[in-house]
Structure 1
Amino acid sequence: MKRSSTLSAIVVSMGALASQAVLLVSAPVLTRIYTPAELGVLATLTAMAALVSPISALHFELAVPIAKGAQQAEDAFRLACISTLLVASIAALVVYLGSWHLLEGPDTEGVTNLLLYVPVSILFTGLSGAILMWAIRHERHVANAGSKLTAATTQSSVQIGAGLAGLGAPGLLLGQLTGQLLGMLTLARNCPALPRLKTSNGQWGNVIKSAIENKNFLIYSAPSSAVNAFGANMPVLMLAAQFDAHVAGLFGMGYRVLQLPARLVGQSIAQVFYSTAAQERSANRLPAAAERLLLATSSLALYTFIPLGLIAPELFSLAFGKEWREAGVYAQYFMPWVATAFVSMPVSMIVSVLGEQKNELVLQLVYLVAAVLAALAAGLEHDARLTVATLSCVGSCYFALKITWLIKISGCDLKILLRRTVGEAGGAILLSFPLIIAIVSEVGSVNIVALGICSIAIAHAFNLRKRSVYEV
C-alpha cells in the first residue's frame, strides 16, 4: 500500500482506539452502577441486533467506494439506504409479532418491552455503514475517526447519567442508540453532500440497475456476513438462554472489553485496505500488500493478546470489582479466538476484490455447523466455562483456516509468512516470561497487571522502531 494509505490507516485506527479508550474508561463506572444482570440485558439485545446489523444494507454499501463513476456511487448509496429501511422494517415486524421471553426473570422483569431497541439499532447501523462508505470513497478518514469518538463519548455519557438516575437496563440501551445516532450525524455532516432519495422513475431505474450490477454482494457477501455474525454473537445468546442474565453479563463484559477494540481497529485497517486493494491488484502488487498487512496485524496481535490473556482475571478484578473476575477468566478462554479473528479481518477484504464470496460462504457455513454442534455438546454439561472454551477452540480453528485460505488466493508465500510469524510469536512468548513468573509467584494483582501492561507497551515501542513491522 502507498504511504498515504498507511497514514490513512493510522488516522482511522487512532480514531477507533480513542473511541474504545472512552468506552474502556467508562466501563469501571458502569460495572459499579449497573448489575451484571442489567449489563447482561444490554449484551443480549445488542447480540440480537448484531445478528442482522452487518447485513442491514444487504452489503450493497460495499459497492460505493469501488464504483467506477460518481453516478454509480450515488446509485449504490441510495440502494444501500433503501435496503436498510426494508431490513429494519422487517425486523420491527418480527419483534412486534413475535412472542419473546428471553432473559425474563426476577431481576430482568419487562425485558421484552425493550426489544424495540433491536430494529432501531439495525436501522442506525445500516445507514451509518452507507455513509461510512461514502466517506471512504471521498477519503474523509479524519471525519471517520471523529465520528467514532463522538459516538463513544455520547454513549458513555448517557449510560453513566442514566445509571446514576437509576434507569437500569433501559438507560444502557438509550445510551447505545444515542451514541449510534450522533456518530452517524457527525460523519454525515463532514462528508460531501449525500445523495438524496427521490421518487422519480429515473432514479428508481438507476437503483434497480445498481442492484443487478452488484448482485454478488447480496448473493454471496451478505449471506457470508450473516453466517459470520451468527457465529460471533451465538455465545452471548446461548449463555443467556442456557444460564441467566448474570452469566451473559459477565461474558458480555469480557467480550466487550477485549473483542470490540480489536474489531474496531481491525475494521478501520480493513476499510483503508479495501479502498486501495483493487488498485494494488491492477498493478500486480496485491500479494506484497497482503503480505505486509498480515505481518503487521499478526505482530500486533501476538504482542498484545499473549500478555493480555495472562493478566485478564486480575485486570478485570481490579478494574471492575472482584465479582467481575470470572469475566476475566472467560476472556482468557476466548483470547485465541479474538486474536485470530483480528488478524483475518483486514485481509478478508481480498475476498470482495477477487470475487471469492462464494467460497467464503462455503467455508463459513462449515464453521457455523461446527460451532452449533460444539455449543450444543458443551451446553449439555451446563458449564459456562466449558461452553466458552469449546466455542473459542472452534472459532480459533476456523479463523486460522480462513487466514491460510486468504494467503493462498492472494498469492502470498505461506512459508515466508509462517516463518516470520513463528519468530514474532517466539519473541512475544519470551517477553512474557517475567510476567508468567510473577503470576506463579503470586506477587499481587496490582503488580501482575502493571507488569503485563508494561510488557505490551515495551513490545510495541520496540516494534515501532522497526519501521517495517507495522508498515501496511
Structure 2
Amino acid sequence: MAQVIALLTAPVLTRLYSPDQFGLLSVYMSVVAIVGAAATLRYEMVIPLPKRDGLAAHALALSLACVVVIAALSGVVLLAFPDAIASWLGYERLPAFSFLVPVGVLAIGTYTALSNWAVRQRAFPVIARTKLFQAISQSFIQIGSAFTPFATFGLVLGNLLGQSAGIGSFIRIFSRRDRAAFVGLDWERAKFLALHYWRFPAFSLPASVAFSASQYLPALILFSQFGAASSGFYLLAQRVGMMPASVLGTAISQSIYKNLADHRKSREAVGRAARVPVTIMAALTIGPAAFAAVFAPLIVEVAFGPEWVEAGHYLRWMVPWVCATVIFGAMTPIVAVLGFQKLGLAFQLGSLAASLLAMSVAGAMWGSVGAVAGFALTKAGSIVLYRLHMFHLIVINPFRIALSMSLQALVFVLIFVITKEIVDYDVLSELVYVVPILTGAALIYAIFVWTALRASRLSVGN
C-alpha cells in the first residue's frame, strides 16, 4: 500500500516540480542512502539470529549505537570538506539542505535496526503500518511544500520526515510488549556480539554499501556529468521501477529470513525454501516487465507529462534490473544464513565495478540514456549469474530455473515488440490485431503463473 501511495503521488509531484528540482532531491537521497547503508555496520542482521530475546536486544542496542556514531561522522565530513564535495557536484557551495544529511542517516539507520527487531518478532503488520505512515507523511509534505517559497527544501524535508515516520510507532509498541528483553543491557554482552559476529561488518558491510551505491551512485554521476535534470529523470525512473522493486524484494527477504534461518543446518532445505518464491515471482514478474520495457517511454509521457519522457527511456533499460531484483529477492538472506559473506562481498564489489565501467563507456558513446542502459543491463546480468551460482551452492539445479526464465522473457518480449510495431504502423486497424495478441499474451501469462504455483505446491508437499 505504501508503494501504491508513492506511485499515485508521483504524477502529481512531476507536475509540481521540475526535473532540476528532482535532481537536487536525488543528490540528497543518494548520499543518505549510501552512508545509511553503513549506519548499523550490518549488526541489524544479527537481531533475528539469537534464540534468546535478551541477546537479540543487545544486538539492537549495538546497532543503534553504531547508527549514532556513523551519523555524527557524516556531519563531521560535511563540515570538514564542504568545498570539495560541492566542487565534485558542480556547485560553488553545498545546497542549503546539506545539514539534513546526518539527520537522514540517523533516521534510516534507526528504522532499519528497529524493523529487524520487528522481523524477529514476526510483527509484519507493524512494519506494513509504519511504511504506510512513511508514504503518507512524505507525500503530504512534498505536495504541500510545492506551494511555498522553499519548494525544493520542502521536497528534501518531506523525504527526511518520511524516513523518520514510523520510528515512534516501533518504539511505543516494542517498549510495551518487549520491555523485559531490554532489562539489564550491558556493554560486555554487546561487545561479545560485536566480536562473535565480526563477519557482518567485515564482509556484509562493504557488500551492503556496494549494493546501495549501485542503486544511488548513478544519480550522483548523472548529476555531475550530465546535469541536474538527468539526475531528476533517473530519480523518477528509479521511483517508478527500482524503489518498488527494492521494497518488494526486501519484504520478501524479511518474510522468509526467519524460515531460512530455521533451516540453516541444511543447504538443501534452504535451497528448497528459497526456490519456491523465486519460481513464483519469476512467473508473476517477467510478463508485465516485458510490457513495461517495450512501452516505457509512452507510459511515462502519459502518466508524468511530456517533460519527463526522457525518464521513460531510462526506465526501459532499467526494467531487466528491476525484474532481477524482484525475482531473486528471497535469496538475499541466504548470504547471512549460510555464511556466504565473502561471496556476497565479491559479487557486490565486482558487479558495481563492472556496472560503473559499462556506464562510463556507454555514457561517453551514447549520452545519458546510454549511461543508464550500460549500468542497468550489466547490473541485471550480474544479479542473474550470481543468484544462479548461489542455487548451485545450495544444491538446486540452476539450469532449469534459467531456462524457464529465459523462455518467459523471450516469449513476452517478442509479443510486445510485435504489438508495438503494429501500433506504430497502422493506428486505424491496430485493434484488429492488438486485441487478439494481448488476449493471447494474457492467456500465456496465466499458464506460466499456474504452472509455477502448481510446481511450488508439489515442492512444498515433498
User: Normalising to structure 2: TM-score of the pair?
Assistant: 0.88
Note the 1:53-452 alignment, pairs <5 A. Answer: 53-99=36-82, 100-101=85-86, 103=89, 112-191=95-174, 192-193=177-178, 203-282=186-265, 285-381=269-365, 383-429=367-413, 432=416, 435-441=419-425, 443=427
Matched residue type, 1:161: G
What CA distance in whole angstroms lies between the structure 1 residues aligned with 2:23 and 2:93?
A: 14
1:246 Cα deviation from its structure 2 partner: 1.1
Per the alignment, residue 7 of structure 1 pairs with none
- Structure 1 unaligned segments of length 5 or more: list them: 1-17
Q: CA 1:426–1:180 in 2, change beyond 3 Å: closer, same or farther?
A: same
Q: CA 1:456–1:25 in 2, change beyond 3 Å: closer, same or farther?
A: farther
Note the 1:1-40 alignment, pairs <5 A. Answer: 18-40=1-23
Query: Is the 8 Å Cα contact of residues 297 and 311 (structure 2) preserved in structure 1?
Result: yes
What CA distance in whole angstroms lies between the structure 2 residues aligned with 1:195 and 1:310?
A: 55
Query: Is the 8 Å Cα contact of residues 227 and 368 (structure 1) preserved in structure 2?
Result: yes
Q: CA 1:23–1:166 in 2, change beyond 3 Å: closer, same or farther?
A: farther
Q: CA 1:134–1:396 in 2, change beyond 3 Å: closer, same or farther?
A: same
Query: Is the 8 Å Cα contact of residues 47 and 237 (structure 1) preserved in structure 2?
Result: yes
What CA distance in whole angstroms lies between the structure 1 residues aligned with 2:269 and 2:10?
A: 42
With 409-418 and 63-72 compared, the bigger mean Cα shift is at 409-418
Q: Which has the higher contact order (CA 8 A, sep 6+)?
A: 1
What CA distance in whole angstroms lies between the structure 2 residues aligned with 1:48 and 1:133?
A: 23
Q: CA 1:30–1:437 in 2, change beyond 3 Å: closer, same or farther?
A: same
1:434 Cα deviation from its structure 2 partner: 6.4
Query: Is the 8 Å Cα contact of residues 88 and 119 (structure 1) preserved in structure 2?
Result: yes
1:291 Cα deviation from its structure 2 partner: 1.7
What CA distance in whole angstroms lies between the structure 2 residues aligned with 1:86 and 1:278?
A: 29
Matched residue type, 1:428: F
1:279 Cα deviation from its structure 2 partner: 1.6
Query: Is the 8 Å Cα contact of residues 431 and 455 (structure 1) preserved in structure 2?
Result: no
Per the alignment, residue 10 of structure 1 pairs with none
Per the alignment, residue 14 of structure 1 pairs with none
1:384 Cα deviation from its structure 2 partner: 0.8
1:441 Cα deviation from its structure 2 partner: 3.1
Q: CA 1:384–1:470 in 2, change beyond 3 Å: closer, same or farther?
A: farther
Q: CA 1:457–1:153 in 2, change beyond 3 Å: closer, same or farther?
A: farther
Per the alignment, residue 6 of structure 1 pairs with none
Post-superposition CA distance 1:309-335 (Å, at most 9, x none) = 111111111111111111101111222
What CA distance in whole angstroms lies between the structure 1 residues aligned with 2:104 and 2:447?
A: 41
What CA distance in whole angstroms lies between the structure 2 residues aligned with 1:140 and 1:329?
A: 39
2:454 paired with 1:468: yes
Match of 1:57, SS state, is coil
Matched residue type, 1:42: L
What CA distance in whole angstroms lies between the structure 2 residues aligned with 1:98 and 1:346?
A: 40
Match of 1:164, SS state, is coil
What CA distance in whole angstroms lies between the structure 2 residues aligned with 1:126 and 1:195?
A: 24
What CA distance in whole angstroms lies between the structure 2 residues aligned with 1:204 and 1:25?
A: 46
Q: CA 1:356–1:209 in 2, change beyond 3 Å: closer, same or farther?
A: same
1:257 Cα deviation from its structure 2 partner: 0.8
What CA distance in whole angstroms lies between the structure 2 residues aligned with 1:433 and 1:333?
A: 15
Matched residue type, 1:79: L
What CA distance in whole angstroms lies between the structure 1 residues aligned with 2:95 and 2:134?
A: 26
2:32 paired with 1:49: yes
Matched residue type, 1:210: L
With 85-94 and 274-283 compared, the bigger mean Cα shift is at 274-283
Match of 1:115, SS state, is helix
Q: CA 1:442–1:235 in 2, change beyond 3 Å: closer, same or farther?
A: farther
Query: Is the 8 Å Cα contact of residues 24 and 232 (structure 2) preserved in structure 1?
Result: yes
Matched residue type, 2:110: L
1:354 Cα deviation from its structure 2 partner: 0.9
Match of 2:263, SS state, is helix
1:80 Cα deviation from its structure 2 partner: 0.5
1:470 Cα deviation from its structure 2 partner: 7.4
Match of 1:257, SS state, is helix
Post-superposition CA distance 1:368-389 (Å, at most 9, x none) = 3223333333344471112112
Q: CA 1:455–1:35 in 2, change beyond 3 Å: closer, same or farther?
A: farther
Per the alignment, residue 5 of structure 1 pairs with none
CA RMSD in angstroms comes to: 2.9
Post-superposition CA distance 1:393-417 (Å, at most 9, x none) = 3212211221122111221112222
Matched residue type, 2:374: T
What CA distance in whole angstroms lies between the structure 2 residues aligned with 1:419 and 1:122?
A: 41
Q: CA 1:124–1:462 in 2, change beyond 3 Å: closer, same or farther?
A: farther
Query: Is the 8 Å Cα contact of residues 236 and 252 (structure 1) preserved in structure 2?
Result: yes
Q: CA 1:311–1:412 in 2, change beyond 3 Å: closer, same or farther?
A: same
What CA distance in whole angstroms lies between the structure 2 residues aligned with 1:328 and 1:428?
A: 19
Q: CA 1:455–1:136 in 2, change beyond 3 Å: closer, same or farther?
A: farther
Query: Is the 8 Å Cα contact of residues 270 and 394 (structure 2) preserved in structure 1?
Result: yes
Q: CA 1:442–1:72 in 2, change beyond 3 Å: closer, same or farther?
A: farther
Per the alignment, residue 13 of structure 1 pairs with none
1:433 Cα deviation from its structure 2 partner: 6.0
Q: CA 1:332–1:56 in 2, change beyond 3 Å: closer, same or farther?
A: same
- Structure 2 unaligned segments of length 5 or more: list them: none
User: Normalising to structure 1: TM-score of the pair?
Assistant: 0.87
Query: Is the 8 Å Cα contact of residues 19 and 152 (structure 1) preserved in structure 2?
Result: yes
With 395-404 and 350-359 compared, the bigger mean Cα shift is at 395-404
Matched residue type, 2:104: S
Per the alignment, residue 3 of structure 1 pairs with none
